Amino acid sequence: MRRLLMLVGILAVTSFGCDVFLPSEGYYNQPCSTGSFCEGDGLKCIGGICKLPDEIGILYVDGDVTAGGDGASWVTAFVHPQDAMNNASQDSEIWVAAGTYTCNSISEVSVLNMEAGVDIYGGFFGNEINRDQRDPVRFKSILDGGIVCKHVVEGASNAIIDGFTIRGGLADESFPHGTGGGMYNNAIGNLTVSDCIFISNRAIYGGAIYNSDCTSITIQHCVFVGNTADSRGGAIETVNGDPLVKNCLFSANNAVNGAGLSMVDSAPNIMNCTFSTNDATNSGGAIYGSASSEFSILNSILWGDDAVNGDEEIHMNGLPGPKVENSCIEHGYVGVGNISSDPNFVTDDLGAFYLSHFDLQGSTSACVDAGLGTSAEHGLADRTTRTDGIGDSDTVDMGFHFVQ
Protein backbone atom coordinates (compact mmCIF):
# COMPACT_ATOMS: atom_id res chain seq x y z
CA MET A 1 0.00 0.00 0.00
CA ARG A 2 2.79 2.44 0.84
CA ARG A 3 4.42 1.78 -2.54
CA LEU A 4 1.11 2.68 -4.20
CA LEU A 5 1.03 5.91 -2.22
CA MET A 6 4.56 6.67 -3.33
CA LEU A 7 3.58 6.34 -6.99
CA VAL A 8 0.16 7.96 -7.12
CA GLY A 9 -0.26 9.82 -3.85
CA ILE A 10 2.59 12.33 -3.94
CA LEU A 11 0.26 15.31 -3.81
CA ALA A 12 -1.55 13.87 -0.80
CA VAL A 13 1.71 13.39 1.05
CA THR A 14 3.06 16.86 0.36
CA SER A 15 -0.24 18.53 1.18
CA PHE A 16 0.26 17.54 4.81
CA GLY A 17 3.58 19.37 4.93
CA CYS A 18 5.84 16.31 4.81
CA ASP A 19 8.90 17.54 2.95
CA VAL A 20 9.92 14.30 1.29
CA PHE A 21 12.02 13.70 -1.81
CA LEU A 22 9.98 13.16 -4.97
CA PRO A 23 11.42 10.64 -7.46
CA SER A 24 10.56 12.95 -10.39
CA GLU A 25 12.78 15.74 -9.04
CA GLY A 26 16.15 14.16 -9.79
CA TYR A 27 18.27 11.07 -9.85
CA TYR A 28 18.60 10.29 -6.16
CA ASN A 29 18.54 6.52 -5.47
CA GLN A 30 18.90 5.75 -9.19
CA PRO A 31 21.38 3.05 -10.31
CA CYS A 32 24.84 4.15 -11.42
CA SER A 33 28.30 2.76 -12.06
CA THR A 34 30.65 3.19 -9.14
CA GLY A 35 32.82 6.26 -9.71
CA SER A 36 30.56 7.66 -12.42
CA PHE A 37 28.84 11.07 -12.46
CA CYS A 38 25.32 11.34 -10.99
CA GLU A 39 23.09 14.05 -12.42
CA GLY A 40 21.70 16.16 -9.57
CA ASP A 41 23.12 18.60 -7.03
CA GLY A 42 25.76 17.00 -4.84
CA LEU A 43 24.94 13.37 -5.69
CA LYS A 44 27.67 10.78 -5.91
CA CYS A 45 27.69 7.17 -6.98
CA ILE A 46 27.95 5.15 -3.77
CA GLY A 47 27.55 1.40 -3.88
CA GLY A 48 25.99 1.56 -7.35
CA ILE A 49 23.31 4.09 -6.28
CA CYS A 50 23.23 7.89 -6.67
CA LYS A 51 23.29 9.19 -3.09
CA LEU A 52 24.34 12.11 -0.93
CA PRO A 53 27.96 11.91 0.31
CA ASP A 54 26.96 11.94 3.98
CA GLU A 55 24.84 8.83 3.52
CA ILE A 56 27.78 6.47 3.26
CA GLY A 57 27.06 5.21 6.77
CA ILE A 58 23.30 4.73 6.35
CA LEU A 59 21.53 1.40 5.96
CA TYR A 60 17.86 1.26 4.97
CA VAL A 61 15.05 -1.03 6.12
CA ASP A 62 11.66 -1.39 4.47
CA GLY A 63 9.42 -4.40 5.00
CA ASP A 64 7.61 -3.69 1.72
CA VAL A 65 10.58 -4.33 -0.56
CA THR A 66 11.60 -7.65 -2.06
CA ALA A 67 13.81 -9.69 0.25
CA GLY A 68 17.50 -9.94 -0.56
CA GLY A 69 18.50 -6.28 -0.69
CA ASP A 70 21.83 -4.98 0.56
CA GLY A 71 20.42 -2.05 2.54
CA ALA A 72 22.33 0.53 0.46
CA SER A 73 19.18 2.44 -0.59
CA TRP A 74 15.44 2.51 -0.08
CA VAL A 75 15.08 0.54 -3.31
CA THR A 76 17.44 -2.20 -2.11
CA ALA A 77 16.55 -1.98 1.58
CA PHE A 78 16.77 -4.81 4.07
CA VAL A 79 13.37 -6.15 5.03
CA HIS A 80 14.02 -6.38 8.78
CA PRO A 81 15.87 -4.07 11.23
CA GLN A 82 17.95 -6.96 12.57
CA ASP A 83 19.30 -7.64 9.08
CA ALA A 84 20.57 -4.07 8.92
CA MET A 85 21.94 -4.23 12.47
CA ASN A 86 23.86 -7.40 11.62
CA ASN A 87 25.49 -5.64 8.66
CA ALA A 88 26.11 -2.24 10.26
CA SER A 89 29.48 -0.87 11.25
CA GLN A 90 30.15 1.39 14.23
CA ASP A 91 29.10 5.04 13.83
CA SER A 92 26.57 4.14 11.13
CA GLU A 93 22.82 4.76 11.10
CA ILE A 94 19.84 2.59 10.27
CA TRP A 95 16.68 4.18 8.84
CA VAL A 96 13.49 2.14 9.16
CA ALA A 97 10.38 2.76 7.07
CA ALA A 98 6.86 2.57 8.46
CA GLY A 99 5.59 -0.96 9.00
CA THR A 100 5.39 -3.68 11.61
CA TYR A 101 8.50 -5.75 12.29
CA THR A 102 8.26 -8.91 14.39
CA CYS A 103 10.48 -11.77 15.57
CA ASN A 104 12.01 -13.59 12.64
CA SER A 105 11.23 -16.89 14.37
CA ILE A 106 9.53 -18.06 17.56
CA SER A 107 12.92 -19.14 18.93
CA GLU A 108 14.30 -15.58 18.93
CA VAL A 109 14.56 -13.76 22.23
CA SER A 110 14.13 -10.26 20.76
CA VAL A 111 12.87 -8.46 17.68
CA LEU A 112 15.93 -6.20 17.66
CA ASN A 113 19.30 -6.79 19.30
CA MET A 114 21.18 -3.50 19.04
CA GLU A 115 24.91 -3.25 18.40
CA ALA A 116 27.32 -0.84 20.09
CA GLY A 117 27.89 2.39 18.18
CA VAL A 118 24.95 1.94 15.79
CA ASP A 119 22.02 4.40 15.86
CA ILE A 120 18.60 3.34 14.60
CA TYR A 121 15.75 5.67 13.61
CA GLY A 122 12.13 4.94 12.73
CA GLY A 123 9.31 7.03 11.30
CA PHE A 124 10.25 7.16 7.61
CA PHE A 125 7.87 7.05 4.68
CA GLY A 126 10.51 5.25 2.66
CA ASN A 127 11.99 7.77 0.22
CA GLU A 128 13.58 10.45 2.43
CA ILE A 129 17.08 11.75 1.82
CA ASN A 130 17.48 13.65 5.11
CA ARG A 131 16.70 12.33 8.58
CA ASP A 132 14.77 15.45 9.57
CA GLN A 133 12.21 14.69 6.84
CA ARG A 134 10.82 11.72 8.77
CA ASP A 135 7.59 11.87 10.77
CA PRO A 136 7.22 9.12 13.41
CA VAL A 137 3.73 10.35 14.33
CA ARG A 138 2.37 9.70 10.83
CA PHE A 139 4.69 6.93 9.64
CA LYS A 140 4.88 4.41 12.47
CA SER A 141 7.78 1.99 12.59
CA ILE A 142 6.53 -0.73 14.96
CA LEU A 143 8.66 -3.34 16.70
CA ASP A 144 6.18 -5.98 17.85
CA GLY A 145 7.13 -8.88 20.10
CA GLY A 146 3.78 -10.54 19.43
CA ILE A 147 3.64 -11.82 23.04
CA VAL A 148 6.38 -14.23 21.89
CA CYS A 149 9.70 -12.37 22.22
CA LYS A 150 10.95 -11.95 25.77
CA HIS A 151 12.39 -8.49 25.04
CA VAL A 152 11.30 -6.52 22.00
CA VAL A 153 14.64 -4.66 22.03
CA GLU A 154 17.99 -5.41 23.67
CA GLY A 155 20.01 -2.21 24.06
CA ALA A 156 23.70 -1.53 23.44
CA SER A 157 26.32 1.05 24.43
CA ASN A 158 27.03 4.32 22.61
CA ALA A 159 23.82 4.07 20.62
CA ILE A 160 20.48 5.75 19.94
CA ILE A 161 17.05 4.25 19.29
CA ASP A 162 14.59 6.91 18.16
CA GLY A 163 11.10 7.04 16.68
CA PHE A 164 9.65 3.55 17.26
CA THR A 165 6.52 2.02 18.73
CA ILE A 166 7.64 -0.88 20.91
CA ARG A 167 4.94 -3.34 21.92
CA GLY A 168 4.02 -6.91 22.70
CA GLY A 169 7.06 -8.05 24.70
CA LEU A 170 6.47 -10.76 27.30
CA ALA A 171 9.31 -11.40 29.77
CA ASP A 172 7.71 -14.06 31.98
CA GLU A 173 10.57 -16.49 32.63
CA SER A 174 13.55 -16.59 35.00
CA PHE A 175 16.20 -13.83 34.96
CA PRO A 176 17.06 -12.23 32.60
CA HIS A 177 14.03 -13.24 30.55
CA GLY A 178 11.69 -12.04 33.27
CA THR A 179 12.84 -8.41 32.88
CA GLY A 180 12.29 -5.69 30.32
CA GLY A 181 9.43 -6.85 28.14
CA GLY A 182 9.79 -3.82 25.88
CA MET A 183 13.53 -3.22 26.29
CA TYR A 184 16.29 -4.92 28.26
CA ASN A 185 19.47 -2.99 29.08
CA ASN A 186 22.23 -4.69 31.07
CA ALA A 187 25.71 -3.33 31.90
CA ILE A 188 25.76 -0.82 29.06
CA GLY A 189 26.41 2.92 28.89
CA ASN A 190 25.68 6.01 26.84
CA LEU A 191 22.38 4.79 25.41
CA THR A 192 19.62 7.22 24.38
CA VAL A 193 16.01 6.09 23.98
CA SER A 194 14.10 8.94 22.35
CA ASP A 195 10.63 9.61 20.93
CA CYS A 196 9.48 6.03 21.40
CA ILE A 197 6.07 4.71 22.44
CA PHE A 198 6.07 1.67 24.75
CA ILE A 199 2.66 0.04 24.85
CA SER A 200 1.30 -3.27 26.15
CA ASN A 201 4.58 -4.84 27.22
CA ARG A 202 4.78 -7.16 30.23
CA ALA A 203 7.52 -8.50 32.50
CA ILE A 204 8.06 -9.59 36.06
CA TYR A 205 10.33 -6.54 36.53
CA GLY A 206 10.25 -3.52 34.24
CA GLY A 207 7.28 -4.07 31.97
CA ALA A 208 8.48 -1.63 29.31
CA ILE A 209 12.17 -1.04 30.19
CA TYR A 210 14.57 -2.75 32.59
CA ASN A 211 17.97 -1.15 33.28
CA SER A 212 20.57 -2.99 35.35
CA ASP A 213 24.11 -1.75 36.12
CA CYS A 214 23.89 0.84 33.34
CA THR A 215 25.53 4.27 33.14
CA SER A 216 24.50 7.39 31.22
CA ILE A 217 21.11 6.12 30.12
CA THR A 218 18.79 8.83 28.76
CA ILE A 219 15.09 8.14 28.21
CA GLN A 220 13.47 11.20 26.68
CA HIS A 221 10.28 12.26 24.87
CA CYS A 222 8.82 8.78 25.33
CA VAL A 223 5.27 7.61 26.11
CA PHE A 224 4.54 4.59 28.31
CA VAL A 225 0.96 3.30 28.15
CA GLY A 226 -0.57 0.05 29.38
CA ASN A 227 2.63 -1.74 30.39
CA THR A 228 2.58 -4.25 33.25
CA ALA A 229 5.03 -5.69 35.78
CA ASP A 230 4.05 -8.67 37.90
CA SER A 231 6.34 -7.30 40.61
CA ARG A 232 8.04 -3.86 40.25
CA GLY A 233 8.18 -1.16 37.61
CA GLY A 234 5.13 -1.29 35.37
CA ALA A 235 6.85 1.01 32.89
CA ILE A 236 10.50 1.20 34.05
CA GLU A 237 12.65 -0.55 36.63
CA THR A 238 16.21 0.64 37.22
CA VAL A 239 18.66 -1.29 39.39
CA ASN A 240 22.01 0.28 40.30
CA GLY A 241 21.90 3.17 37.88
CA ASP A 242 21.20 6.88 37.54
CA PRO A 243 19.22 7.40 34.32
CA LEU A 244 17.90 10.72 33.07
CA VAL A 245 14.15 10.40 32.45
CA LYS A 246 13.14 13.57 30.63
CA ASN A 247 9.82 14.67 29.12
CA CYS A 248 8.10 11.29 29.35
CA LEU A 249 4.44 10.41 29.85
CA PHE A 250 3.41 7.47 32.05
CA SER A 251 -0.26 6.46 31.86
CA ALA A 252 -2.33 3.36 32.64
CA ASN A 253 0.67 1.24 33.63
CA ASN A 254 0.31 -1.43 36.31
CA ALA A 255 2.50 -3.21 38.85
CA VAL A 256 2.53 -4.52 42.40
CA ASN A 257 5.00 -1.76 43.36
CA GLY A 258 5.87 1.26 41.25
CA ALA A 259 3.30 1.20 38.48
CA GLY A 260 5.11 3.96 36.64
CA LEU A 261 8.73 3.74 37.74
CA SER A 262 10.63 1.58 40.23
CA MET A 263 14.21 2.07 41.36
CA VAL A 264 16.53 -0.06 43.46
CA ASP A 265 19.90 1.36 44.58
CA SER A 266 19.40 4.03 41.94
CA ALA A 267 19.16 7.80 41.68
CA PRO A 268 17.35 8.81 38.51
CA ASN A 269 16.87 12.42 37.48
CA ILE A 270 13.22 12.91 36.49
CA MET A 271 12.40 16.10 34.57
CA ASN A 272 9.20 17.36 32.92
CA CYS A 273 7.42 14.03 33.20
CA THR A 274 3.71 13.36 33.71
CA PHE A 275 2.45 10.36 35.72
CA SER A 276 -1.30 9.78 35.76
CA THR A 277 -3.81 6.88 35.94
CA ASN A 278 -1.10 4.37 36.85
CA ASP A 279 -2.20 1.65 39.30
CA ALA A 280 -0.18 -0.27 41.91
CA THR A 281 -1.76 -3.18 43.75
CA ASN A 282 0.59 -2.48 46.67
CA SER A 283 2.58 0.78 46.85
CA GLY A 284 3.78 3.58 44.61
CA GLY A 285 1.15 4.29 42.01
CA ALA A 286 3.58 6.56 40.18
CA ILE A 287 7.03 5.92 41.70
CA TYR A 288 8.49 3.31 44.06
CA GLY A 289 11.97 3.42 45.57
CA SER A 290 13.91 0.97 47.72
CA ALA A 291 17.42 0.12 48.91
CA SER A 292 18.94 3.56 49.37
CA SER A 293 17.36 5.24 46.36
CA GLU A 294 18.04 8.98 46.25
CA PHE A 295 16.67 10.85 43.27
CA SER A 296 15.24 14.15 42.07
CA ILE A 297 11.99 15.25 40.44
CA LEU A 298 11.78 18.59 38.62
CA ASN A 299 9.00 20.31 36.64
CA SER A 300 6.83 17.19 36.72
CA ILE A 301 3.19 16.27 37.34
CA LEU A 302 2.15 13.27 39.47
CA TRP A 303 -1.63 13.26 39.61
CA GLY A 304 -4.46 10.72 39.64
CA ASP A 305 -2.38 7.59 40.24
CA ASP A 306 -3.56 4.86 42.59
CA ALA A 307 -2.03 2.42 45.10
CA VAL A 308 -3.94 0.01 47.31
CA ASN A 309 -1.75 0.63 50.37
CA GLY A 310 -1.52 4.40 50.06
CA ASP A 311 1.28 6.64 48.76
CA GLU A 312 -0.50 6.88 45.44
CA GLU A 313 2.23 9.03 43.91
CA ILE A 314 5.57 8.35 45.66
CA HIS A 315 6.46 5.48 47.99
CA MET A 316 10.00 5.23 49.34
CA ASN A 317 9.83 1.95 51.30
CA GLY A 318 10.79 3.64 54.58
CA LEU A 319 13.62 5.67 53.04
CA PRO A 320 13.98 9.46 52.79
CA GLY A 321 11.96 10.96 49.96
CA PRO A 322 13.36 12.49 46.77
CA LYS A 323 14.24 16.11 46.19
CA VAL A 324 11.13 17.49 44.47
CA GLU A 325 11.04 21.00 43.01
CA ASN A 326 8.55 22.97 40.89
CA SER A 327 6.28 19.98 40.49
CA CYS A 328 2.55 19.34 40.84
CA ILE A 329 2.01 16.47 43.27
CA GLU A 330 -1.48 15.33 44.26
CA HIS A 331 -1.90 15.67 48.07
CA GLY A 332 1.21 17.88 48.10
CA TYR A 333 4.95 17.34 48.60
CA VAL A 334 7.54 19.37 50.48
CA GLY A 335 9.87 21.27 48.17
CA VAL A 336 10.56 24.63 46.55
CA GLY A 337 7.95 25.65 43.98
CA ASN A 338 5.73 22.58 44.43
CA ILE A 339 1.96 22.87 44.05
CA SER A 340 -1.00 20.57 44.68
CA SER A 341 -3.57 22.15 42.36
CA ASP A 342 -5.51 20.10 39.81
CA PRO A 343 -3.49 20.31 36.57
CA ASN A 344 -6.72 20.51 34.52
CA PHE A 345 -5.74 17.99 31.87
CA VAL A 346 -7.45 18.29 28.49
CA THR A 347 -7.51 15.92 25.54
CA ASP A 348 -6.36 16.48 21.96
CA ASP A 349 -5.24 14.36 19.01
CA LEU A 350 -2.10 12.95 20.65
CA GLY A 351 -3.41 12.25 24.12
CA ALA A 352 -5.33 13.19 27.26
CA PHE A 353 -2.66 15.09 29.16
CA TYR A 354 -2.40 18.52 27.58
CA LEU A 355 -2.75 21.49 29.96
CA SER A 356 -5.72 23.84 29.79
CA HIS A 357 -5.05 27.40 28.61
CA PHE A 358 -7.43 30.33 29.06
CA ASP A 359 -7.65 31.32 25.40
CA LEU A 360 -8.51 27.73 24.44
CA GLN A 361 -10.41 26.17 27.36
CA GLY A 362 -11.45 29.23 29.40
CA SER A 363 -9.07 28.55 32.29
CA THR A 364 -5.33 28.13 32.66
CA SER A 365 -3.74 25.18 34.43
CA ALA A 366 -1.68 26.05 37.49
CA CYS A 367 1.11 24.02 35.84
CA VAL A 368 1.52 26.53 33.00
CA ASP A 369 4.62 28.72 33.37
CA ALA A 370 5.23 27.12 36.78
CA GLY A 371 8.42 25.15 36.14
CA LEU A 372 12.00 26.05 36.97
CA GLY A 373 13.97 27.48 34.05
CA THR A 374 12.92 28.22 30.49
CA SER A 375 11.62 25.89 27.82
CA ALA A 376 14.70 26.66 25.72
CA GLU A 377 17.03 25.68 28.57
CA HIS A 378 15.25 22.33 28.85
CA GLY A 379 15.10 21.72 25.09
CA LEU A 380 11.30 21.95 24.99
CA ALA A 381 10.70 25.19 23.06
CA ASP A 382 9.71 23.20 19.97
CA ARG A 383 7.17 21.11 21.93
CA THR A 384 3.85 22.01 23.45
CA THR A 385 1.41 21.51 26.32
CA ARG A 386 -1.35 23.33 24.37
CA THR A 387 -4.09 21.82 22.22
CA ASP A 388 -3.41 24.38 19.47
CA GLY A 389 0.20 23.21 19.16
CA ILE A 390 1.85 26.54 19.95
CA GLY A 391 5.27 25.85 21.40
CA ASP A 392 6.17 26.44 25.04
CA SER A 393 8.04 29.71 25.47
CA ASP A 394 9.80 31.54 28.29
CA THR A 395 9.19 29.89 31.70
CA VAL A 396 8.74 26.18 31.11
CA ASP A 397 5.40 24.49 31.82
CA MET A 398 5.32 21.55 34.20
CA GLY A 399 4.78 18.07 32.84
CA PHE A 400 5.05 16.26 29.52
CA HIS A 401 5.33 18.29 26.31
CA PHE A 402 3.85 16.86 23.12
CA VAL A 403 5.21 17.11 19.59
CA GLN A 404 3.84 20.22 17.89
| Domains of the chain, earliest start first | 54-329 (2.160.20.10), 341-404 (no CATH)
CB-based contact 380:396 (threshold 8 Å): yes
The conformational region for residue 398 under phi > 0 = left, psi -120 to 50 = alpha, else beta, is beta
For residues 280-302, give the mean pLDDT.
Answer: 93
- pTM for the whole structure: 0.87
DSSP strands (E only) in 202-335: 202-205, 209-212, 215-220, 223-225, 228-232, 236-239, 244-246, 249-251, 254-257, 261-264, 269-271, 274-276, 279-283, 287-290, 296-298, 301-302, 306-307, 314-315, 323-325, 328-329
Burial class (CB in 10 A: 0-12, 13-18, 19+), 358: exposed
Find the radius of gyration of the CA atoms of the chain. 22
309: which residues sit within 8 A by CB, 6+ positions away? 282, 283
Q: What is the pLDDT of residue 68?
A: 86
Q: What is the pLDDT of residues 303-317, one digit of tens each?
A: 999 999 988 999 998
Per-residue model confidence (pLDDT) at position 90: 87
Question: Percent of the chain having pLDDT more than 90?
Answer: 79
Which residues are CB-contacts of 349 (< 8 A; sequence separation ≥ 6)? none
What phi-psi label fits residue 135: left (phi over 0), alpha (psi between -120 and 50 degrees) or beta? beta
Dihedral class, residue 148 (left if φ above 0, else alpha if ψ from -120 to 50, else beta): alpha
Residue 4: the pLDDT is 38
Name the band, by pLDDT with cuts 50, 70 and 90, for residue 255. Answer: very high
The predicted structure's pLDDT at residue 26 = 55
Burial of 397 per CB tally in 10 Å (0-12, 13-18, 19+) = buried
| pLDDT, tens digit, 9 for 90 and up, residues 363-379 | 999 999 999 999 999 99
pLDDT at 33 over 60: no
Per-residue confidence band for 382, with pLDDT thresholds at 50, 70 and 90: very high
Does the pLDDT value for residue 56 go beyond 80? no
C-alpha 354: how far from its chain's center?
Answer: 18
**pLDDT exceeds 70 at position 22:** no
Mean pLDDT score of the chain, rounded to an integer? Answer: 89
Check pLDDT > 70 for residue 217: yes
